[in-house]
C-alpha cells in the first residue's frame, strides 16, 4: 500500500521512552514500528506501543470547546476561563485557583503551565499526577543528593552482574527495558532478584523472588546496610570524601539488623541471607525501583534506605551500578525538570530559596513569584472539596479515577464553582467540567519528553488535530494572554518554549545544579525539528551527541557541602485492624494504560483481561467463601468495588491485588479508586496506593451473564457489569442479585437488534440457564448467555462470531449451545496480544512438541514481537510438563 512520509516520534506511554516510526497510509490508517535509531529501544516496541495505530480513531474525540455542556467557540471558552480565574484571584487571592497537570504533558506544555502559575498568578497551587507516581523518588533523591537526580542510565542494567527490582513489575510496566535486561542476562549471566509481595510475571522470570510482607522494604534495606557494614564493605575512601551522616544512618540500621529485617519481611532466613550475600558480592549492582517503593506511607524512606546501601559501598554512578528510579509516565522526568510539582521551582531550582525565586522571577520578568510551596495533589483536592480552592484547571489526567478516595474527589469537583478540563476524550473527570477544552493528542502534538534515563526525545506530529482541537501549550498561552500576560506567553512554536527552558536551566548554574541543557538555548527551529535523542546534562557549548552521562561516581552532590547524605530510616509499625484485615494492593496489567482512555479502544489489548479483578490467595478466598470466577466485593473504610475473583497462589496470604485501570466508563461498580485510602507519605505527599486496609465479601449472585454485542448498549441493567471492545463489537460480563423475570425481554433490550433479524433462544428446564442469539442475515447481532454460576463459555471463541460473515445453521446451534465444534477450535484466553494467540493454541503447540518458548514462537509467532507474554508462555509449558509428570 502506498504511504506518506515516516515520522520519527516517541511512544506516549511508559517512561522507557521508546522511539516510534509512524507512517500514515493511504487508507487513513497509520503504520507503527519501533525506531531502530532510538537508543532506548533500538527498534523494539511492546504490545501497547505496537497497537498505537489502533488508538488513533476519531469517533470519540473532543473536537470543539464546550461550556456547561453546550458547544462554544474557542474565544468564548478562553475568555471565560481567563475571566473566572482573574475574578477568583481578585476576590480570594492567588491561592484560590489551581492547576492540576500530568506527566503525559510535553515539556513545553508543562513549562508554560508552571510559568503561568508560579510566576504570573504568583502561587504554587500547581501539582500533577506525578505526585501519585514519582514524588517519593523526588523527595528521596533531594534528601540524599540535594537534587532530583537519577544517577545512572539504561546501559547500567545491561552492565550489571546483579539487578534488584524493588516494587517493579517491569515485564509488564517497562517491557522494552525488561527485554533489554533479559538479553543482557543471556550474554553475561546477570542475576535478577525481584522484591514484590506478589509472584508477578517479573518475579517468575527472576533468579530469586523475595515475596516480602507489604511495606517491609525499609527494614529489608536497613538490614542490608547493617550487613554490608558488618562485612567490611564500607567504601571508606568514598564515604569519607563524598558523604555525610553515615553514623546516624548506621545506628538506625543496627537497630533493625538481620532480626529486624527477618521479622518485618517474614522471609525465610536463608532467603534473606542469600539476598544479602548476593548484594554484598556483586560490585556491579543496580537496584531499580518503581511504585512498590514510591506509593507508600514510607515511600521516601524506602528510597533512601536503598540509596544508603549504594552510597556506603560507593556503588553509584559507575557503569553497571547505582540506584535507579524507573519513571512511569513518558514525561514524568520532563515535568520534574520544569518544576511541575507544587514544591518545586523551574529547572531544578528550589522554591524554598529566596535567591532561586529571585533568579526565576527576573528571568521571567514576572510581576511576582510563588513565595512558598503549594498544595500537593491529595491536599489540593481536599482544598477543592472544602471550598478554599474555587477554580481548578485539570489537564492531561483523570483524577476522578486515579486519585485515592476517588468518590470524594468527584464530590469535590461537583462542588467546585469553576472546573476547566483539557482532554482528548470524555472521561469520568470531564463530566464535572464547566469548560471542556479539546486538546490535540499524541499523533498531533510536537514537543519533547524526557525518559527514565534523562534522555530528551522529540515527539513529532504526523496527523492534523481533528476539528478545533489545539495543543496544550497553545491553550495555556491563550488563557495567559487573556489574563493580561500576553508578552510573556507570546510563543510561536514549541521550539521557542524549549529554548527558554534550556536557557533557564543554564542560568547562574556553573555546574551547581544537575539539570542543565543550556547547550540547547540557541537551538534553531530547524535544529529542534531534527533533534536527536540526547541525555542531560548538556551544558552550554557541549555537543549534544556527547554520549552517556552519569552522576556521583566522584561525589559532586548538589547539597550545600557537595556531600551525599545518608538518611536514617527508622522502622514504622504497620497498624492492623480486625474489620479490615487484608492489605489491598493496586497496580497495572500488561495491556492497559491507566484509566484506559486509549488502550480500551483496541480489542487486541482488551483480550488479555476484559474485566477488572481481585487477585486473592486461595486460603483467603476460602475463608471469605469466595469461589474462583465469582464476584467479590472489596470493602475498605473508604468505599467498595465489585470485581471478578481471581483465586491464585501468586498472591500472598493476607494481601489482595486489583488493577487500577477500570473506570465508570467500563464497569458498573468496579472502580477501585472508590476503595483506595488517601493516606500519604508525610515527606513526599505521595499516596500509599498499594496498602489500603480492606476485607472481601462474596457477592451473592442470582445469575451470571455474558454477552457479545454488535452495538454498544446505552444502559446496562445489572448489579455487576463490565464492557470491553471486541473485534466487530463489544463483550459484556453481567451478574445480578435478583432473578430476572423475562430473559427474552432483557436480551432484546441489551442486543438492540432492530428490524429484520432472526432470534434463536433456549431455556433449560429449571429456568436457570438461558441462551439467545440474534442474527441479521448471516451475521451475528448479539448473543446472551445466562447461568446460575459464572458462565462457562469460551470468550475468545464466542467473540469471534462478531466478525464472522456467514454463520450457518449448525454453527448457530453450536453458538447457542455455547460449545465450539471440533472444526472450530477454541483459541482460549488471549496470551499474546501482539499476534492474538490464545492459551489453548499454545497448549496444543506444546502438545505437538513445541516445548520451549522459542519453539512456541516459531510455531505460532506468540511472544516474538514485544516478548512481554513470554513468561506466561513459559508458565503454560511448565504446566503441561507438570501434567505429563503426574
Residues that bind Mo ion in the complex, under the rule CB under 5 A: 133, 328
Which CB atom, from 19 or from 374, has the smaller least distance to ligand SF4?
19
Size of site (CB under 6 A) for ligand MGD = 60
287 binds ligand MGD (CB under 6 A): no
Q: According to CB under 6 A, which residues from 153 to 182 bind ligand SF4?
A: 175-176
Question: Judging by beta carbons within 10 Å of its beta carbon (0-12, 13-18, 19+), is residue 111 exposed, middle or buried?
Answer: buried
Question: 253 vs 236, 568, 572, 731, CA distance in Å?
Answer: 18, 7, 13, 53
Which residue in 7, 8, 30, 49 binds ligand SF4 (CB under 6 A)? 49
DSSP 836-849: TEEHHHHHHHHHTT
Which residue in 439, 614, 647, 680 binds ligand MGD (CB under 6 A)? 439
Label each residue of 484-519 as H, E or C: HHCHHHCCCCHHHHHHHHHHHHHCCCCCCCCCCCHH
Task: Tell me how far, at minimum, the Cβ of 17 lies from ligand SF4, in Å.
Answer: 6
Residue keyed to cell 451475528:
780
Which residue in 672, 679, 680, 871 binds ligand MGD (CB under 6 A)? 672
What residues form DSSP beta bridges with 457?
Answer: 449
User: E strand or H helix at 357, and its extent?
Assistant: helix 354-364
112 binds ligand MGD (CB under 6 A): no
Binding segment (CB under 6 A) for ligand SF4, from list 42-50, 71-79, 522-530, 640-648: 42-50
CB–CB of 110/104 below 8 Å?
Answer: no
Binding segment (CB under 6 A) for ligand SF4, from list 13-21, 205-213, 539-547, 802-810: 13-21
Q: Give the whole-angstrom CA distance, residue 393 versus residue 766.
A: 56
Which residue in 46, 78, 181, 359 binds ligand SF4 (CB under 6 A)? 46
Q: According to CB under 6 A, which residues from 687 to 716 bind ligand MGD?
A: 689-690
Closest CA to 695 of 591, 611, 624: 624
User: How does 155-172 read in b/e, with b if 16+ C-beta sit within 10 Å?
Assistant: bbbbbbbbbbbbbbbbbb
Which CB atom, from 18 or from 126, has the smaller least distance to ligand SF4?
18
Task: Tell me how far, at minimum, the Cβ of 41 lies from ligand MGD, in Å.
Answer: 14
Check the CA dihedral 518-521-526-528 and report its sign.
Answer: positive
Which CB atom, from 133 or from 220, has the smaller least distance to Mo ion?
133
Q: Would you put residue 596 in left (φ > 0), alpha (ψ -120 to 50) or beta?
A: left
3-state secondary structure of 692: strand
329 binds ligand SF4 (CB under 6 A): no
Which residue in 249, 349, 395, 600 binds ligand MGD (CB under 6 A)? 395
Q: Give the whole-angstrom CA distance, residue 505 versus residue 107.
A: 13
What's the length of the chain?
886
Task: Tell me how far, at minimum, the Cβ of 133 lies from Mo ion, in Å.
Answer: 3
Q: Give the whole-angstrom CA distance, residue 677 versus residue 873.
A: 35
Q: Give the whole-angstrom CA distance, residue 717 versus residue 845.
A: 41
Which CB atom, from 304 or from 327, has the smaller least distance to ligand SF4?
327
168 binds ligand MGD (CB under 6 A): yes
659 binds ligand SF4 (CB under 6 A): no
List strand residue ranges (DSSP E) for 61-161, in order: 66-67, 70-71, 97-101, 126-128
Task: Tell me how far, at minimum, the Cβ of 687 lies from ligand MGD, in Å.
Answer: 8
Task: List all residues 6 or more positions away from 733 whose beta carbon is below 8 Å from its beta carbon.
Answer: 610, 611, 644, 705, 706, 720, 721, 722
Size of site (CB under 6 A) for ligand SF4 = 13
Pick one of ligand SF4, Mo ion, ligand MGD, none as the site partner of residue 406 (Cβ within 5 to 8 A by kind): none
Check the CA dihedral 518-519-520-525 and report its sign.
Answer: positive
665 binds ligand MGD (CB under 6 A): no
Pick one of ligand MGD, ligand SF4, Mo ion, none as the site partner of residue 49 (Cβ within 5 to 8 A by kind): ligand SF4
Q: According to CB under 6 A, which residues from 2 to 41 bind ligand MGD?
A: 14
Binding segment (CB under 6 A) for ligand MGD, from list 21-29, 390-398, 554-562, 567-575: 390-398
Q: According to CB under 6 A, which residues from 172 to 231 bind ligand SF4?
A: 175-176
CA neighbours closer than 13 Å in the CB half-sphere of residue 838: 14
The 10 Å Cβ neighbour count of residue 492 is 10
Which CB atom, from 10 or from 291, has the smaller least distance to ligand MGD?
291
Residue nearest to ligand SF4 (CB): 49
424 binds ligand MGD (CB under 6 A): yes
Binding segment (CB under 6 A) for ligand SF4, from list 44-52, 269-277, 278-286, 798-806: 44-52
Q: Give the whole-angstrom CA distance, residue 53 versus residue 443.
A: 10
CA angle, 424 as apex, 419 and 427 as ends, to 5°? 60
Per-residue cell: 261: 529485617
Q: According to CB under 6 A, which residues from 596 to 625 bind ligand MGD?
A: 597
Pick one of ligand MGD, Mo ion, ligand SF4, none as the site partner of residue 395 (Cβ within 5 to 8 A by kind): ligand MGD
13 binds ligand SF4 (CB under 6 A): yes
Whether the upstream peptide bond of residue 537 has omega within 30° of 0, thus cis, is yes
370 binds ligand SF4 (CB under 6 A): no
Task: Tell me how far, at minimum, the Cβ of 172 lies from ligand MGD, in Å.
Answer: 5
326 binds ligand SF4 (CB under 6 A): no
Which CB atom, from 45 or from 369, has the smaller least distance to ligand SF4?
45
Q: According to CB under 6 A, which residues from 467 to 486 bind ligand MGD?
A: 472
Residue keyed to cell 506525578:
130
3-state secondary structure of 136: helix
Closest CA to 480 of 109, 877, 855: 109
Task: Tell me how far, at minimum, the Cβ of 14 lies from ligand SF4, in Å.
Answer: 3
3-state secondary structure of 759: strand
Task: Tell me how far, at minimum, the Cβ of 330 lies from ligand SF4, in Å.
Answer: 7
Check the CA dihedral 849-853-855-857 and report its sign.
Answer: positive
Task: Tell me how far, at minimum, the Cβ of 736 lies from ligand MGD, in Å.
Answer: 27
Pick one of Mo ion, ligand SF4, ligand MGD, none as the site partner of residue 841 (Cβ within 5 to 8 A by kind): none
Task: List all residues 6 or more positions away from 221 whose beta carbon is below 8 Å from its beta carbon.
Answer: 302, 305, 306, 308, 309, 569
292 binds ligand MGD (CB under 6 A): yes
396 binds ligand MGD (CB under 6 A): yes
Which CB atom, from 593 or from 770, has the smaller least distance to ligand SF4?
593
171 binds ligand MGD (CB under 6 A): no
Pattern 679-718, binding to ligand SF4, x per CB under 6 A?
A: ----------------------------------------
676 binds ligand MGD (CB under 6 A): yes
Q: Give the whole-angstrom CA distance, residue 150 versus residue 317.
A: 9
397 binds ligand MGD (CB under 6 A): yes
Q: Give the whole-angstrom CA distance, residue 218 versus residue 307.
A: 11
DSSP 323-367: EEE---STTHHHHHHTT-STT--GGG--TT-HHHHHHHHHHHT-S
DSSP state, residue 612: -
14 binds ligand SF4 (CB under 6 A): yes
User: E strand or H helix at 226, and its extent?
Assistant: helix 217-230
17 binds ligand SF4 (CB under 6 A): yes
Pick one of ligand MGD, ligand SF4, Mo ion, none as the site partner of residue 463 (Cβ within 5 to 8 A by kind): none
User: Which residues bind to ligand SF4, rule: CB under 6 A?
Assistant: 11, 13-14, 16-18, 41, 45-46, 48-49, 175-176
User: Which residues bind to ligand MGD, rule: CB under 6 A?
Assistant: 14, 102, 104, 129, 132-133, 166-170, 172-173, 195-198, 200, 212, 214-215, 217, 290-292, 295-296, 328-329, 395-399, 402, 422-425, 427, 439, 441, 445, 472, 585-588, 590, 592-595, 597, 660, 672-673, 676, 689-690
Amino acid at each position: 500500500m502506498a504511504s506518506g512520509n515516516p515520522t520519527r516520534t516517541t511512544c506516549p506511554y511508559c517512561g522507557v521512552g521508546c522511539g516510534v516510526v509512524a507512517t500514515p497510509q493511504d487508507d487513513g490508517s497509520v503504520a507503527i514500528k519501533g525506531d531502530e535509531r532510538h537508543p532506548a529501544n533500538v527498534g523494539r516496541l511492546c504490545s501497547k506501543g505496537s497497537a498505537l495505530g489502533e488508538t488513533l480513531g476519531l469517533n470519540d474525540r473532543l473536537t470543539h470547546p464546550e461550556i456547561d455542556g453546550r458547544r462554544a467557540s474557542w474565544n468564548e471558552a478562553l475568555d471565560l476561563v481567563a475571566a473566572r480565574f482573574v475574578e477568583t484571584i481578585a476576590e480570594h487571592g492567588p491561592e484560590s485557583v489551581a492547576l492540576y497537570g500530568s506527566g503525559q504533558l510535553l515539556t513545553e506544555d508543562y513549562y508554560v503551565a508552571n510559568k503561568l502559575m508560579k510566576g504570573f498568578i504568583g502561587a504554587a497551587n500547581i501539582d500533577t499526577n506525578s505526585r501519585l507516581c514519582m514524588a517519593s523518588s523526588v523527595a528521596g533523591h533531594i534528601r540524599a543528593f540535594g537534587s532530583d537526580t537519577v544517577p545512572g542510565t539504561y546501559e547500567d542494567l545491561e552492565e550489571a552482574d546483579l539487578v534488584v527490582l524493588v516494587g517493579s513489575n517491569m515485564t509488564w510496566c517497562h517491557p522494552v527495558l525488561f527485554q533489554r535486561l533479559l538479553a543482557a542476562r543471556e550474554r553475561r549471566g546477570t542475576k535478577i532478584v525481584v522484591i514484590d509481595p506478589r509472584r508477578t510475571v517479573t518475579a517468575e522470570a527472576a533468579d530469586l523472588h523475595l515475596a516480602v510482607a507489604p511495606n517491609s522494604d525499609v527494614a529489608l534495606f536497613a538490614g542490608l546496610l547493617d550487613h554490608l557494614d558488618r562485612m567490611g564493605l564500607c567504601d571508606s575512601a568514598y564515604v569519607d570524601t563524598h558523604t555525610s551522616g553515615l553514623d546516624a544512618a548506621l545506628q538506625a540500621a543496627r537497630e533493625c539488623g538481620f532480626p529486624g529485617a527477618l521479622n518485618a519481611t517474614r522471609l525465610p532466613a536463608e532467603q534473606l541471607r542469600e539476598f544479602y550475600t548476593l548484594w554484598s558480592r556483586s560490585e556491579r549492582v543496580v537496584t531499580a525501583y518503581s511504585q512498590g517503593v514510591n506509593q507508600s506511607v514510607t515511600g521516601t524512606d524506602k528510597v533512601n534506605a536503598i540509596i544508603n546501601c549504594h552510597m556506603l559501598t560507593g556503588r553509584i554512578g559507575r557503569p553497571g551500578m547505582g540506584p535507579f528510579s524507573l519513571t512511569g509516565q513518558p514525561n514524568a522526568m520532563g515535568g520534574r525538570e520544569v518544576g511541575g510539582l507544587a514544591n518545586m521551582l523551574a529547572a531544578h531550582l528550589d522554591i524554598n530559596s529566596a535567591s532561586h525565586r529571585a533568579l526565576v522571577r527576573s528571568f521571567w520578568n514576572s510581576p511576582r513569584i510563588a513565595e512558598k510551596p503549594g498544595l500537593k495533589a491529595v491536599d489540593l483536592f481536599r482544598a477543592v472539596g472544602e471550598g478554599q480552592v474555587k477554580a481548578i484547571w485539570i489537564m492531561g489526567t483523570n483524577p476522578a479515577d486515579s486519585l485515592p478516595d476517588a468518590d470524594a474527589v468527584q464530590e469535590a469537583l461537583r462542588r467546585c464553582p469553576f472546573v476547566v478540563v483539557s482532554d482528548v476524550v470524555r472521561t469520568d473527570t470531564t463530566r464535572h467540567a464547566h469548560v471542556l477544552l479539546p486538546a490535540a493528542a499524541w499523533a498531533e502534538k510536537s514537543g519533547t519528553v524526557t525518559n527514565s534515563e534523562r534522555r530528551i526525545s522529540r515527539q513529532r506530529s504526523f496527523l492534523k488535530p481533528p476539528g478545533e482541537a489545539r495543543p496544550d501549550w497553545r491553550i495555556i498561552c491563550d488563557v495567559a494572554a487573556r489574563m493580561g500576560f500576553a508578552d510573556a506567553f507570546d510563543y510561536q512554536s514549541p521550539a521557542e518554549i524549549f529554548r527558554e527552558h534550556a536557557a533557564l536551566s543554564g542560568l547562574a548554574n556553573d555546574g551547581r545544579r544537575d539539570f542543565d541543557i543550556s547547550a540547547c538555548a540557541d537551538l534553531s527551529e530547524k535544529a529542534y525539528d531534527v533533534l536527536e535523542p540526547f541525555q542531560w546534562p548538556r551544558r552550554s557549548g557541549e555537543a549534544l551527541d556527547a554520549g552517556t552521562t552519569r552522576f556521583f561516581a566522584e561525589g559532586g552532590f548538589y547539597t550545600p557541602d557537595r556531600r551525599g547524605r545518608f538518611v536514617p530510616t527508622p522502622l514504622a509499625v504497620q497498624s492492623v485492624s480486625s474489620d479490615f484485615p487484608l492489605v489491598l494492593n493496586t497496580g497495572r496489567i500488561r495491556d492497559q494504560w491507566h484509566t484506559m482512555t486509549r488502550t480500551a479502544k483496541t480489542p487486541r489489548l482488551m483480550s488479555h483481561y476484559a474485566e477488572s479483578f481481585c487477585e486473592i490467595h486461595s486460603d483467603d478466598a476460602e475463608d471469605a467463601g469466595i469461589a474462583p470466577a465469582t464476584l467479590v466485593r472489596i470493602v475498605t473504610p473508604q468505599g467498595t468495588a465489585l470485581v471478578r475473583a481471581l483465586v491464585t497462589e501468586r498472591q500472598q496470604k493476607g494481601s489482595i491485588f486489583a488493577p487500577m485501570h477500570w473506570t465508570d466508563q467500563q464497569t458498573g461498580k468496579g472502580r477501585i479508586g472508590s476503595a483506595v485510602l488517601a493516606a500519604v507519605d508525610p515527606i513526599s505527599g505521595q499516596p500509599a496506593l498499594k496498602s489500603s486496609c480492606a476485607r472481601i465479601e462474596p457477592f451473592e449472585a442470582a445469575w451470571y451473564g455474558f454477552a457479545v454485542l454488535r452495538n454498544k448498549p446505552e444502559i446496562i441493567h445489572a448489579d455487576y457489569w463490565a464492557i470491553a471492545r471486541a473485534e466487530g463489537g463489544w463483550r459484556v460480563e453481567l451478574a445480578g442479585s435478583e432473578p430476572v423475570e423475562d430473559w427474552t425481554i432483557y436480551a432484546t433490550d441489551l442486543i438492540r437488534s432492530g428490524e429484520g433479524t432472526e432470534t434463536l433462544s433456549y431455556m433449560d428446564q429449571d429456568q436457570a440457564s438461558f441462551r439467545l442469539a440474534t442474527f441479521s442475515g448471516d451475521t451475528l447481532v448479539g448473543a446472551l448467555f445466562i447461568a446460575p454460576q459464572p458462565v462457562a463459555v469460551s470468550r475468545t471463541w464466542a467473540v469471534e462470531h462478531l466478525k464472522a460473515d456467514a454463520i450457518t445453521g449448525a454453527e448457530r446451534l453450536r453458538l447457542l449451545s455455547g460449545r465450539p465444534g471440533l472444526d472450530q477450535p477454541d483459541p482460549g484466553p488471549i496470551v499474546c496480544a501482539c499476534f492474538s494467540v490464545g492459551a489453548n493454541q499454545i497448549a496444543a503447540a506444546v502438545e505437538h512438541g513445541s516445548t520451549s518458548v522459542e519453539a512456541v514462537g516459531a510455531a505460532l509467532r506468540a511472544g516474538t514481537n514485544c516478548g512481554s507474554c513470554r513468561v506466561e508462555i513459559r508458565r503454560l509449558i511448565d504446566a503441561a510438563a507438570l501434567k505429563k509428570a503426574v
